[in-house]
Amino acid sequence: MTIQAFIFDLDGVLTDTAEYHYQAWQRLADEEGIPFSREENDAMRGLARRDSLNVLLKGRVIDEATAQAWMVRKNDYYVALLSHISPNDLLPGVSDFLNAAKADGLKLGVGSASKNARPVLEKLNVLSLFDAVGDGYSVVHGKPAPDLFIWVAGRIGINPTQGVVFEDAAAGVQAAKRGGFFTVGLGDAAGDGATIKLAGLSGITPREILTRLP
């Protein structure tokens, strides 16, 4: 079936906010005396805020009020790190890739677990390029469940088999595969499960992606 849409994860795919999520969790972990590392953070990529907290806790039990307070603190640290984001923070090749895909007639979507996705897309000045934006408010079951990408496909008006999902997270690649999409895994944290594996979006065109699909 002909590909009609590209659907992008945001954090770690369009911009390097994955690094800011890491720094915010690291600060919380340090303040609470919980061991945490960049490697452990890779397991959180793509996961909703609550699921990420569970990874951080590694089986520690905290009461619900504390959990809520910690998530607010992490988000406050994260939002502070976002304050300087501008279109210069699009990852290399992203701007050209999005514009070329649009010029080729593809529909564009975002499927991000983040409740901060819309403000980040606005700061990057790319929100208007997208035909549909699914974020941390769109579905109940987050990645690795396929619901978010299926929600975005529905908004765009395609079947999953007509879409390619771009992800930097293993949980996101899994979600897209479970939904029936083709997948492009970007970077090592995406794992080996994607249809196409790339370091990033620089030096490749949408047409080359299409020719490399099975």
- Indicate which residues carry an active-site annotation: 9, 11
Q: CB of residue 119 vs ligand BG6: minimum separation in angstroms?
A: 10
Residue whose beta carbon is closest to Mg ion: 12
Asked if 187 interacts with ligand BG6 (CB under 6 A), we say no
Q: Which does 116 bind (CB under 5 to 8 A by kind): ligand BG6, Mg ion, none?
A: ligand BG6
- CA–CA gap between residue 11 and residue 49 (Å, rounded): 13
Asked if 135 interacts with Mg ion (CB under 5 A), we say no
* Strand segments (E) across 25-168: 107-111, 132-134, 163-167
Cis-peptide, bond into residue 144, ω within 30° of zero:
yes
Asked if 11 interacts with ligand BG6 (CB under 6 A), we say yes
Length of the chain equals 214
Residue 25 or 181 with smaller CB distance to ligand BG6: 25
Beta carbons of 164 and 201 less than 8 angstroms apart: no
Classify residue 199 by its DSSP letter: S
Residue 70 or 182 with smaller CB distance to ligand BG6: 70
Residue 5 or 44 with smaller CB distance to ligand BG6: 44
Q: Which does 48 bind (CB under 5 to 8 A by kind): Mg ion, ligand BG6, none?
A: ligand BG6
Q: Which does 187 bind (CB under 5 to 8 A by kind): ligand BG6, Mg ion, none?
A: none
Site for Mg ion, residues 57 to 76, rule: CB under 5 A: none
Per-residue burial over 56-88, b = 16 or more CB atoms within 10 Å of its CB, e = otherwise: beeeeeeeeeeeeebeeebbebbeebbeebeee
Beta carbons of 86 and 123 less than 8 angstroms apart: yes
- CA–CA gap between residue 97 and residue 204 (Å, rounded): 8
Stretch that binds Mg ion, among 8-16, 67-75, 136-144, 156-164 (CB under 5 A): 8-16
Site string for ligand BG6, 85-124 (x = CB under 6 A): ---------------------------xxxxx--------
End-to-end Cα distance, the chain: 11
The site for ligand BG6 (CB under 6 A) is made up of: 10-11, 18, 21, 44-49, 52, 75, 112-116, 136, 169
